[in-house]
Structures are given as structure tokens and as C-alpha cells.
Homo-oligomer: A and B are copies of this chain.
Amino acid sequence: MKRPAAFSLLGGAMLILGFSPSSAAQSTFVNTLMPQPAHLRVGSGALPWNTAVTVGLPHFKNQRLEDAVDRTLMQIERKTGVPRQRAITTSDASSLTIDVDGAGDAIQSIDENESYTLAVTSTGVKLHAATVVGAMRGMTSLLQLIQPSGSGFIVPAVQIEDSPRFRWRGLMIDVGRHFEPVEVIKRNLDAMAAVKLNVFHWHLSEDQGFRIESKIYPKLTGEGSDGLYYTQEEAREVVAYAASRGIRVIPEFDMPGHTRSWLVGYPELSSDPGPYTIRREFGVEQVAMDPTKDSTYQFIDAFLGEMATIFPDSYLHLGGDETPGTQWKNNPRVVAFMRAHNFKTTEELQTYFSERVLELAKKHGKHMVGWDEILNPDLPTDAVIHSWRGAESLTAAARRGYHGILSQPYYLDGMKSAEEHYLADPLPSNSDLTAEQRKFVLGGEVCMWGEHINPLSIDSRIWPRTAAVAERFWSPESVKDVDDMYRRLDVESLRIEALGLRHLTHEGAALRELAGTEDTDALRVFASALQPVSFGDRYKGQHTDQLTPLDNLVDAVRPDPPTRHQIAVLVGDLLKTPSANEQARTQLERQFKSWAAAVPTVETQMSTSPLLAVARPRAQQLLQLSQTAEEALSYLSSSSKAPAGWKQAKLAQIGTAREQQALVRFTFVDPLEELVKAVPEQ
């Protein structure tokens, strides 16, 4: 690997792990990199970013690289207001030199070299990478480095040597249960590239919808999609769009379960004659493909052959999760087949199916990925295990020589905090896998299941939380300071918004629509105290199906909104020295007062908005909880005692506020409970 001179001069000593807080003497560098690079050293000085900046591609270049350079320069232009350099030269003495060894894999592989080095001095930026994808990763870091300074912008002097910890860093989007137009997919690919994710897992078929055109089997979308699907041309466009951003596209055709939409047009694929309709309910469906008929495999063979012309990646996801045995057990022919093959359980029959489709995947040049149910004793070890039910299946698979991908801790519809996802490591250092076994862990995937999302809300469910997980997949395990992660996540969230994502604008628009007015200041304050309940709680609470309108308060409010972490930190700070931490107390008081003050206006708006009115109990609770917080803060700051019974009453109030109501929950009940518990009582 060729290194730019400026970099090699510094030698190994400069490679300090993680972020070095900069001293004023060195530079004004504020680290907002996300993900954090493997090695970073802060230098002194900075390159001014102005119209004098020249750009050179001294060695290799191709269209993909030039497009990536263009995109980066446009993003920098928008951020700085400095018109971009449009004349790209081949000079290696440019202020920004992008030195790339070669194109990289013709079709980006799992082993694509994504490493890069970035050396910034006061006279220039030298980016070096072995491949175009590596250069893209470096350009993303460059964009993140640029910061205001005085009346202009600078790139602070740093030395970065970076490469990903995991090879497989994915985001799965389920477009089966609710369809997402190409435009939504594209903007999410932009955001993925911004945080160096490299796999888009496209969950293209479900009981509730078949989403990609097949010319061989036109009834798949003709009868199984409600007209909501991607044409082959659109799918190719998405693949190209992803490739130009260094992202592989892995399509998933879930089978033999989760296939009711296939059976609407082709009931003969099932072991029950049907007829079938598109499923509207969620949850596990009782139908599955018939694994005993050769015609099933002929169908899959031809279909996969067709899909292989659209999706060039060498991996293919064939699902395999939640396959019910009901239909199989009820069909005497299938039962006879099982007996003849000496299969004692339907799981064994599924393994037979998995082996046969794995052979078909191979025939079309693909490795097969499947959800962890496929991990049965007879499964060939060239299958990749996608772990969704627990990290144990990942380690079990690695021990037995299967490659694996972790998703279990990264389900966005659980509506957990970025923090919780962030701290879940796919391969913690205390894992008891051997060094050899550890290599089988390819990485992880964030999962965005489709029950409760639509094109309006999806961005706010994926971002910014996924950026935190992207750092988990890319950066060293030791990078896990949660407060610092949130500080940088706030900045990254805005960078992602600048790409066109709507995770921040969605809430305001949805609240305006709910309230029927632009005057939503109070409602926004109210909403800032709320987050959606988990997938399970909503499903149970609302009995949602595919046709349920997603236009409630729960669809508007943000998962893990800023107040959650802020209040937890402030309460933590305060409780260290309850009577002395003025600043934390003042900020907490201000926040709770502002919530209490918003309630009357919100209640008035609720009286004219049927869709808001269901949350009326939440408004009353917010008022009460805010008063409780103010009382607690007052006792703590004055070191006085609450009357006997106060604590019990307030804890009961908090308990009530924790109960399911209106599909939303408060962001601050845990720290509030700590606060109440800390109050001394008479």
C-alpha cells in the first residue's frame, strides 16, 4: 500500500487509538467524526477551506470515483457556502489530493478494502486509499472534519489511519409489510454512506406483499403486491445508486414461510391448494411453500436465475425464519414424504428445504444467507447465519464454522435508545470464541421491520439511532463513551438531514397535521417528553394490521428524543451533589416548567383534534410528573424533608405513568424515579 509522504514521515508513534482531546496550542479541532476512526492523531494548524482549494486525482480515477468526489465537494459547498472547485486536475500538489491505487473489486465484495489514510496539514489534505470505496470512506471523514473558524471554515490538521472493524455493516429495510418508494430507499442509502455502512439488505417479499417485478412469474406482483412494487429497472437503479456509494445490495426472498403473497398468484407453491389473498394481519402466518415437490424448486430456480441478473452481489438472503409446520403436518402427502425421508420433525424437513435452495443459490453463483432458524445439524457450512433471536446463535454458528451476522440487538422497532443499541457488541472481547472462530463473525445489521412505518415516518425510525450502531460496527470496541456518542450523534443527525433525510422534519409536520394548525409550539414541547412504545406494545395495544392508518401521535414522536439522555445525565449529575449542583438543577427545573406550561394549550388543541384526544391522559400525567419533579428538586436543593408518604404517593404516580396509554411513553420516568427516591422523607 502506497502511503502519502506526509503520513509516513510521522511513523507509527502518531497512531493513537481513539480521540485525543485537542489542546488550544495544537488546533481548534472539535471531533465530530462518526464513526470514530481506528487511529487518529490531532496535529497543529489547519487548512483554510476557501475558493483557493484545488483538487487533484493524481493516480487512478474512474467514473465512480469522480462521482464520489463531486458529491463530496457539493456537500462541502453547501455546508460552507464556498463555491466548489469544478476543475479536477491530476496534480499531486493540489490542496486536496485524492490518491487511489485502483478501482477495487469489479463487484464490491465482502473483502473489499475500505481502509484509507487522511493526512491534513495547514497546506493540504492527502487522502490515500487502495480502492475507490476506501476513498469514499475517507471523503466522508473529510466532510465531517470541516468546521467553522472565525469568518470561514477550516480542515483541522489531523492524521487518520482507518479501516473497519467488521466487514459486514448493514441496514435491513422491510418493504414487504409497507412499501417504500425508490426515493425513500435512495435517501436512506445516502445516509448509510454518510456513516460508512456497506450493506443494504432489501427484504423484498413478505406475507403482506411481493415487491419486485418478475417477468417470468408476473403474478407475483400482479396479484401479490397491491400494485406497490419495484420494476426491474428501478431495482437496477437502486443497485447502481448503492454501488456508487460503496454499498452492496443483498436482496431477501424469505422462504418457505412468510410467503403468502407468492401464493396469491401461484397457490401451487403451497401444500394447501388455497386460494390465497394478500395477508393483512401481522404475526406468524400458517402457510409455507411445499418443500416436497420438485416443481417448488423449479420455480425457485427460475426465479433466482432472473433475480441474479438484477442483483450482482455474491450473497443472497433466503429467509427461513418462522416457518410454521401446520400446513405440512396437515397434508398427508407431506407427512408421507417426511416418513419416507425419515424426518422426525418439520424442522428436519425445513433443513432439507434449506439444503436444496442453498444448492440453487450456488447454481446462480450466490452464497446463501438465512435467519438463524436454518442452523440445524445438517446445514452445509457455506450458509451464512443471520442471528435475530439472540447472540447465542451467532456464537454457536461460529463454533461450528458458519459465518454469521448479528441483528438481535439492533431491532429499531423495539424503540430502544441509541445508547442501548450502541453498547451491544457483535463480538465482545470477553466472548469465549477462539481467535479462529471470531473470524466467522462478519458483522451486524440494523433491522427496520415494516409493520409500523410508512414513507413519512421511516426516516425518523432509522435515524439518527442507526448512526450509533454504524459506529459500533466500524470503530474499535473500546470506543464506547455514551455521552460522547450522543454529542457527536446530534451533529451527525444534522449532516444526515442535509442529505435530504426527514427524520427531524417528520415530527413537526405530523404534529401540524394532527393539530390542524401551524401553531404547534406547545405541542412540540409536549411531544419532546414522549417516545413511541415498542413494536410489541403497539401491536397489542392497537391491533394493527397492514391497513391501519399510521397517523397517530405515536407515529409522530421520535424514538429516543434528545430529552431522554439529557435528563438522565442532568439527574445523574445532580444526585452526585444534590444541594450543590446549581446548573443541573436550573436546567432540570426549566425543562419541567416548560413541560408543565405547555399542557393547557395542548389540552385545548386536543379538544378539537380527535386523533390527538386519545393522548389527553398523557397531558395530565405530564403536568403531574413535572410538578413532582419540581417538588423533588426543591427538597433536594434545600436539603429539606418531604412529608411522610410523599415518596410513596409520587412513586405510585410514576408507576401509573409507566402503564400503557395512548401508545406513547415518557422519556424521563427512570431518572424522575431516582430523583424522587433521593428525597429524604420526614
Contacts and interface: CB of A to CB of B under 8 A. Distances in A.
Contact of A148 (B504, B508, B516, B552): B516
A504 B498 contact: no
Contact of A494 (B153, B490, B516): B516
Contact of A505 (B153, B183, B509): B509
A425 B498 CA distance: 40
A513 interface: yes
B549 A81 contact: yes
B494 A518 contact: yes
Contact of A78 (B83, B549, B610, B613): B549
Contacts of A548: 83
Contacts of A86: 547
Given A77-B549, A78-B549, 20 more contacts: A80-B611, A81-B549, A81-B610, A82-B549, A83-B548, A151-B610, A151-B613, A152-B610, A490-B518, A494-B517, A494-B518, A497-B509, A497-B512, A497-B513, A498-B509, A498-B513, A502-B505, A505-B505, A505-B509, A518-B562
A516 B149 CA distance: 13
26 contacts: A78-B513, A78-B549, A79-B551, A81-B551, A81-B552, A81-B610, A83-B549, A86-B547, A150-B610, A151-B610, A151-B613, A152-B610, A153-B610, A490-B517, A494-B516, A497-B509, A497-B512, A497-B513, A498-B509, A498-B513, A504-B508, A504-B509, A504-B518, A505-B508, A508-B508, A518-B562
B610 A547 contact: no
A547 B613 CA distance: 49
A381 interface: no
A504 B494 contact: no
Contact of A493 (B82, B518, B549): B518
A433 interface: no
Contacts of A562: 518
A15 to B, nearest CB: 30
Contacts of A547: 83, 86
Q: What 8 A-B pairs come out closest when comparing CB atoms?
A: A505-B505, A81-B549, A81-B611, A151-B610, A78-B551, A148-B610, A77-B549, A81-B551
A490 B493 CA distance: 30
A608 interface: yes
A533 B86 CA distance: 29
Contacts of A504: 508-509, 512, 518
Contacts of A497: 509, 512-513
A609 B148 contact: yes
Interface in A532-556: 547-549, 551-552
A331 to B, nearest CB: 32
A642 interface: no
Nearest to A456: B500
Contacts of A508: 504-505, 508
Interface of A: 77-83, 86, 148, 150-153, 183, 490-491, 493-494, 497-498, 502, 504-505, 508-509, 512-513, 516-518, 547-549, 551-552, 562, 608-611, 613
A659 to B, nearest CB: 22
A80 B549 CA distance: 9
Contacts of A551: 78-79, 81
A64 to B, nearest CB: 15
A251 to B, nearest CB: 24
A615 B523 CA distance: 30
A151 B606 CA distance: 10
A548 B82 CA distance: 8
A526 to B, nearest CB: 15
Contacts of A549: 77-78, 81-83
Nearest to A613: B151
A517 B611 CA distance: 31
A317 B473 CA distance: 55
Contacts of A552: 81
A80 B151 CA distance: 49
A548 B610 CA distance: 47
Contacts of A83: 547-549
Contacts of A79: 513, 551
A512 B494 CA distance: 7
Nearest to A74: B549
Residue among A490, A497, A509, A512 having the largest count of chain B Cβ atoms under 10 Å: A509
A234 B83 CA distance: 30
Nearest to A226: B86
A215 B508 CA distance: 44
Nearest to A548: B83
A193 to B, nearest CB: 18
A609 B152 CA distance: 8
A508 B491 CA distance: 15
Contacts of A490: 517-518
Nearest to A491: B516
A493 B517 CA distance: 9
B494 A148 contact: no
